[in-house]
Structure 1
Amino acid sequence: MHQAPYGSWPSPIDAALVATRSGAPEYLGAIGDELWWTAPRPEEGGRRALMRLAPDAGGAVSVLPAPWNVRSRVHEYGGQPWAGLARNGGGPLIVFADFADQRLHAVEPDTAEGPGAAQPRPLTPLSAVGGGLRWCDPVIRGGDVWCVLEEFTGERPGELRRLLAAVPLDGTAADDRSAVTELTDDRHRFVTGPRISPDGTRAAWLAWDHPRMPWDGTELMIAGITSGPGGRHELTGARTLIGGPGESVAQVEWAPDGTLLAVTDRTGWWNLHRVDPDTGDAVGLCPRDEEFADALWRVGSRWFAPLDDGRVAVLHGRGARRLGVLDPATGELADAAGPWAEWSGPLAVRGTRVAAIAGGPDRGREIVCLDTVTGRCRTVAEEHRDAVDPAYYPEPVARTVAGPGGREVHAYVYPPRHPEVTGPDGAAPPLVVRAHGGPTGRTAMLLDLEIAHLTSRGFAVADVDYGGSTGYGRAYRERLAGQWGVVDVEDCAAVARALVAENAADPDRIAISGGSAGGWTAAASLASPATAGLYACAALTYPVIDLATWDENGTHDFEARYLDGLIGPRDEAADLYRERSPAARADRISVPFVLLQGLDDPICPPAQAEALLAAVAGRGVPHAYLTFPGEGHGFRRAETIRRAIEAELGLYLTVFGIERPDAPALDLALRPVDDHSNGAGGRPG
């Protein structure tokens, strides 16, 4: 072991490696005895591949070749994009949404020779109006696919309607919108897909309306299923069973006995309840100060799954989530054993086996199966393989520090780590404070090669679950009500200052970074008097910058009224919208920053980033603006991810005065944008 300045350490974890390992499996489900999911393909244009694992197969196979991209754009964040049906002959039937045209397609993969040889056929039509027709959270029922329909009626982001619909599997709606049966009206702005009772007579779903977000308040809806003209089914007598403006029901499923299981935060925590489908009476099954769900950002997200024997597989925890099996009769909750520190859904149940997606500080997300009879857990797909010696991985520590007024602030701290190098005696490393997106979301203690890319070079990283984050109950979540740009900024600063006080961070070399809402927090931190002089630079990725224009015409419909809760109703808090925006406080920004922006982002469009550039123009603030054609909200292409990581590291090297032979400093010269084709450029000063 030898000493070298922090930030200068050699590392085998380069940006290209991080890019090729970016992403994780999603949308896990079971079809008979098979597991299906989507997997990232950053080197194939960032598409999501549909994967299949049969019990007798030697490994998982991709069902559809490129360029098929199994991903829905409902709410722009997407949702459950596929469903499958096991059949007695001919293999499974699969229905999926393709990202390119957003149509539902059907495919029968076992009817063609060789993996990927089957040809999908469209089930839904195209629409030239606005964002067209979009579908998600499907369930195959008889000769139809029941799902959420998002239909644009005009060109503006908010000119649309959402409802439950039935799409015929025979393809008659592929060119005929009238062949789609509308199961509900559009009285609610937002709905999730239907959950059908075991006897097929009733359906349940969730609904909510502006200005609420689903973590503020939702309604659990229930309706009868009857046969209408031509034998088509209808939903009748729809009514609210539980929920409302102050109660967030995050998921609903039918239990085998015909009762409903729902996660609701009526106790202040998202806990699992049994709900009488006739009366709405709800009984807590495992009352704990823990979360059994998370924010419903994607339609169809699931954190629990009923088992045939009456038990329930659940994801639960305070901060980190574990997989457990709950016996509702006794309240006993038995957790799965193994090296996985963080579990995520959806859960896929096959008899007595439960599959989930899990990872930990030393491994990326894998697909893990729990045998609920033996208690044995094992990785069955997407197995983590170390690309480098694990000695280069950081060893994170969960921390709770005191914020303003003594409030608790949660974070994961990743100290520098290298098998052969350490820092000089008495010196402290440079620190990167990371603010997660959402802001209603959280970070997780997982192996993140983007973090390891920094820690293996001698940087410390702090991932902050600032007030407003999920995982710690409704009260913690609501700390951000009316306080966005205040509480999140203060909490990130509290973590940085606590690490400086412990000599775990160099007070002169602290950066803040974030994407989306995290980009807002990072930009707001540069402009806040509460953090003056704390940060030396910032990396901002597709950030929210100008609250005045991030409205129903400046972002997508899902978040068009989000600021009502985070800032206040526009007609009552107009001054706050101006005062909080970094664009309006640019005179306080004096340190360098880099802006990373996808040019096809409908959530935080380039106009947001450009508002900051216009605000600092002529002020002598060094900065760089890198744009990426074809990228939206969340970078998916390997070349984009690589360039973004290199730019962020280049910023830190430039500002912190670190020289490395393997990484160039970032050009922060104030010059006009002269080439968008390579995704790089400055802005006029």
Structure 2
Amino acid sequence: MTAPAPYGTWPSPIDAATAAAHDGSPEYVGVVGDEVWWTAPRPAEAGRRALIRRHADGTEECPLPAPWNVRSRVIEYGGTPWAGAIVDDSPLIVFVHHPDQRLYVFRPDRPEQAPRPLTPVSAVGGGLRWADLAVHPEHGEVWAVLEEFTGDGPSDCRRVPAAVPLDGSAAEDRSAVRELAVETHRFVTGPRLSPDGRHAAWIAWDHPYMPWDGTELRVAEVSAGVFGPARTVIGGPEESVTQVDWAPDGTLLAATDRTGWWNLHRVDPGTGEAVNLCPREEEFGNALWKLGHRWFRPLDNGLIAVLHGVGALRLGLLDPATGEVVDTSGPWTEWNPTLAAVGRRVIGVAASARTSYEIVELDAGTGHARVVGNAHHDTVDPAYLPDARHRVFTGPGGREVHAHVYPPGNPAATGDGPAPYVVWVHGGPTSRAGMVLDLEIAYFTSRGIGVAEVNYGGSTGYGRAYRNRLREQWGVVDVEDCAAVAEGLVAEGAADPARLAIRGGSAGGWTSAAALTSTSTYACGTVIYPILDLYGWSPAGGETHDFESHYLETLVGPLDKVPERYHDRSPVHHGDRISVPFILLQGLDDVICPPVQCDRFLAAVAGRGIPHAYLTFEGESHGFRRLDTMVTSLEAELSLYGQVFGFTPAGVPHLELTT
């Protein structure tokens, strides 16, 4: 039986610790022999990424105990941090250890042998880093992307495909690392070797382009593991090749958006002729934020496992001869960009609005899919989970704005009239919020606060034209689209116009701060590890990492041509415009969105009488990973909403706001 109660005060079994303990999802699934391996978050273990092994009999173990942390820092967002192969009838695993970024090798079936380093430590700048690994026992090497710092600045670095000997001879000797290709581009992915070992293919791009703007597919002949001169086969400034791989029959496959959508193409490595295998206004790829993301996997039977769709991607089997796609049945509605395959088995990571991310195996012969790892278990009564709905709102000029709406809901309580709502803004900004079970969202909805996740113009999943809406319009289109969703919910009578909030992290923090300093839509805001000063985030300001240092040239425009935009759109220059309470949450080890930007913004707001709080966290970088950090952040956010919206959340520490 439900009872009337003020929004925000509904009793909920989902506390901050429960929500934080289930943050994150499995990543980087792979197959070693008959075993499935992947990385998994461990918030309670200082936020490390554990490596999980699923034996052929279905049992799971974590063969690398704490403090081993399998995570790469290449381009700061990382990439595939492990790889394995069967060598002498047992698994051999190579992985990146996050604290020192060295490659290590270990034999999980030989526990008496501790992991040993394969690469040296460099004292220069950010050192040596590795990602997008592939073990090649036939060459006695692991191939990867090498990111090597040449100085102390964030852009004093170079990246090349490289080979590291498995015998450990490079552990203290940088000269023993073999560079596979001449350094010709600023960014590269790991090389994919053709089945006959005679060709390698990879993706490359340069500033000022991001990998979703323009990339090149590079191919080189290979002889005894040695690369010949590389050449560009397809791609360019207005074509994004986001994944490349070889089919077992030697066919070169690439996901490219030359049609306006990331479609899967067969590419002739000699002529560059590209044939669209399934022409659809759907995505068969997405933004390459991490090196090694995979949206397709060729199978031995000639079919291709693909993730495809508009917005949410689903798993299907593509017959390249007919262009027909047969989708997998099952409850999963969102799939992560990681696929592995062996024989007719396809393994991926999938979730739904009611289930957390699971390791799912598809039998491509029977079409049967089943959960084989990280199985979802209800940690709370599902009655307290929100009823998620995909919605399309109307933005300025009649444009479509995609969003996921999570109305407040609780089996034991009900509210009266329009509810308070928080607009959640995803990061990127060239990214997308998926409609999956998120206990952080349920933390709020189960208490009577609605959530609306906005996939504003610029988000991925809806074609290149939708992404390009944000070109030179960052801080405009994203702010307008978020407001359109909030105002749409108000017009429907679902949301209270006096109790709207906005929150986001990274690029979402930028949009949140930009909205608070340019609109009167929101009564408060939560700004998490944000970008606040465009000039500081530009190459001239030098306050961010190399990967995104030129990102603003497309998002805002070239600094030398439109310097006024960098000033006029930056929240740091408009502290006088903010009139509502806010909190800033910042990791002190963040090199992507550094704390100095928050310091600058707070100085601009100081003395104006605006209630606010600034919480900083030692040991946290970009994206919070530690349990205690996430608990503190969630409780602080709820306390802010209570103080602004007029309720007292039970069992939550009172957040002190200063003026």
TM-score of the pair, normalised by structure 2: 0.98
Q: Look up the match of 2:631.
A: 642
User: Does residue 621 in structure 1 map to residue 610 in structure 2?
Assistant: yes
User: Does residue 147 in structure 1 map to residue 150 in structure 2?
Assistant: no
CA–CA distance in structure 1, aligned partners of residues 383 and 650 of structure 2: 22
Q: Look up the match of 2:332.
A: 340
CA–CA distance in structure 2, aligned partners of residues 250 and 652 of structure 1: 40
Is the 1:578–1:584 Cα contact (8 Å) retained in structure 2? yes
User: Does residue 540 in structure 1 map to residue 527 in structure 2?
Assistant: yes
Q: How does 1:331-480 map to 2 (within 5 A)?
A: 331-424=323-416, 427-480=417-470
Letter in 2 for 1:12: P
CA–CA distance in structure 1, aligned partners of residues 630 and 208 of structure 2: 34
Counterpart among 602, 617, 625 of residue 591 in structure 2: 602
Aligned-partner SS, 1:564: helix
User: Does residue 95 in structure 1 map to residue 94 in structure 2?
Assistant: yes
How many pairs align?
654
Is the 1:7–1:429 Cα contact (8 Å) retained in structure 2? no
Shift of 1:522: 0.2
CA–CA distance in structure 1, aligned partners of residues 502 and 357 of structure 2: 26
Q: Look up the match of 2:13.
A: 12
Q: Look up the match of 2:74.
A: 74
Task: For residues 228-278 of structure 1, give each alpha carbon's deviation from its aligned partner in whole angstroms, at most 9, with x where no partner exists.
Answer: xxxxx3211200000011100000000112121100000000000011111
CA–CA distance in structure 2, aligned partners of residues 137 and 326 of structure 1: 25
User: Does residue 657 in structure 1 map to residue 649 in structure 2?
Assistant: no
CA–CA distance in structure 1, aligned partners of residues 293 and 80 of structure 2: 7
Q: Look up the match of 1:682.
A: none
Q: Look up the match of 1:128.
A: 123
Of the structure 1 ranges 155-164 and 652-661, higher mean CA displacement relative to structure 2 is found in 652-661
Letter in 2 for 1:123: L
User: Does residue 301 in structure 1 map to residue 300 in structure 2?
Assistant: no
Counterpart among 488, 494, 510 of residue 484 in structure 2: 494
Aligned-partner SS, 1:467: coil
Task: For residues 529-570 of structure 1, give each alpha carbon's deviation from its aligned partner in whole angstroms, at most 9, with x where no partner exists.
Answer: xx2x21000000000000111123200000000000000111
User: Does residue 64 in structure 1 map to residue 69 in structure 2?
Assistant: no
Shift of 1:214: 0.2
Aligned-partner SS, 1:210: coil
Is the 1:81–1:138 Cα contact (8 Å) retained in structure 2? yes
Shift of 1:118: 4.2
Letter in 2 for 1:63: P
Shift of 1:226: 2.1
CA–CA distance in structure 1, aligned partners of residues 184 and 606 of structure 2: 46
CA–CA distance in structure 1, aligned partners of residues 552 and 110 of structure 2: 50
Task: For residues 147-197 of structure 1, give each alpha carbon's deviation from its aligned partner in whole angstroms, at most 9, with x where no partner exists.
Answer: 100000000000011001111111010000011111112220000000000
CA–CA distance in structure 2, aligned partners of residues 430 and 243 of structure 1: 47
Shift of 1:360: 0.5
Q: How does 1:169-188 map to 2 (within 5 A)?
A: 169-188=166-185
Is the 1:103–1:124 Cα contact (8 Å) retained in structure 2? yes
CA–CA distance in structure 2, aligned partners of residues 392 and 339 of structure 1: 19
Shift of 1:345: 2.8
Q: Look up the match of 1:484.
A: 474
CA–CA distance in structure 2, aligned partners of residues 206 and 131 of structure 1: 23
Of the structure 1 ranges 593-602 and 654-663, higher mean CA displacement relative to structure 2 is found in 654-663
Letter in 1 for 2:99: A
Shift of 1:586: 1.5
Aligned-partner SS, 2:356: strand
Shift of 1:23: 1.2
Which ranges of 4 or more aligned residues in structure 1 deviate by more than 4 Å? none
Shift of 1:669: 2.1
Letter in 2 for 1:197: S
CA–CA distance in structure 1, aligned partners of residues 343 and 412 of structure 2: 48
Shift of 1:660: 2.7
Aligned-partner SS, 2:483: helix
CA–CA distance in structure 2, aligned partners of residues 397 and 139 of structure 1: 40
Percent sequence identity over matched residues? 63
Shift of 1:88: 4.3
Counterpart among 164, 167, 178 of residue 167 in structure 1: 164
Letter in 1 for 2:629: T
Aligned-partner SS, 2:497: coil
Q: Look up the match of 1:673.
A: none
Task: For residues 188-233 of structure 1, give each alpha carbon's deviation from its aligned partner in whole angstroms, at most 9, with x where no partner exists.
Answer: 0000000000000110000000000000000000001124xxxxx3
CA–CA distance in structure 2, aligned partners of residues 88 and 312 of structure 1: 30
Q: Look up the match of 1:551.
A: 538
CA–CA distance in structure 2, aligned partners of residues 564 and 342 of structure 1: 31
Is the 2:426–2:453 Cα contact (8 Å) retained in structure 1? yes
CA–CA distance in structure 2, aligned partners of residues 603 and 658 of structure 1: 36
Shift of 1:664: 3.6
TM-score of the pair, normalised by structure 1: 0.95
Q: Look up the match of 1:119.
A: 114
Q: Look up the match of 1:85.
A: 85
Aligned-partner SS, 2:478: helix
Q: How does 1:266-277 map to 2 (within 5 A)?
A: 266-277=258-269
Q: Look up the match of 2:108.
A: 109
Task: For residues 586-643 of structure 1, give each alpha carbon's deviation from its aligned partner in whole angstroms, at most 9, with x where no partner exists.
Answer: 2111101000000000100101111210111111111100000000000001000100
Q: CA RMSD in A?
A: 0.9
CA–CA distance in structure 2, aligned partners of residues 467 and 359 of structure 1: 24
Is the 1:133–1:152 Cα contact (8 Å) retained in structure 2? yes
Change (3 A) 1:253 1:246: same
Q: Look up the match of 1:48.
A: 49
Shift of 1:313: 0.2
Letter in 2 for 1:383: A
Shift of 1:87: 2.8
Letter in 2 for 1:192: T
Change (3 A) 1:537 1:118: farther
Is the 2:119–2:164 Cα contact (8 Å) retained in structure 1? yes
Task: For residues 479-531 of structure 1, give each alpha carbon's deviation from its aligned partner in whole angstroms, at most 9, with x where no partner exists.
Answer: 00000000000000000000000011000000000000000000000111xx2
CA–CA distance in structure 1, aligned partners of residues 515 and 113 of structure 2: 52
Letter in 1 for 2:62: S
Shift of 1:7: 1.1
Q: Look up the match of 2:39.
A: 38
Task: For residues 21-49 of structure 1, give each alpha carbon's deviation from its aligned partner in whole angstroms, at most 9, with x where no partner exists.
Answer: 11110011111211000011111110001
CA–CA distance in structure 2, aligned partners of residues 366 and 155 of structure 1: 40
Aligned-partner SS, 2:592: coil
Aligned-partner SS, 1:138: strand
Q: Look up the match of 1:324.
A: 316
Aligned-partner SS, 1:648: helix
CA–CA distance in structure 2, aligned partners of residues 93 and 13 of structure 1: 41
Is the 2:9–2:650 Cα contact (8 Å) retained in structure 1? no
CA–CA distance in structure 1, aligned partners of residues 123 and 538 of structure 2: 24
Letter in 2 for 1:543: P
CA–CA distance in structure 2, aligned partners of residues 138 and 146 of structure 1: 6
Aligned-partner SS, 1:405: helix
Aligned-partner SS, 2:574: helix
Q: Unaligned regions of 5+ residues in structure 2, if any?
A: none
Aligned-partner SS, 1:630: coil
Is the 1:28–1:345 Cα contact (8 Å) retained in structure 2? no
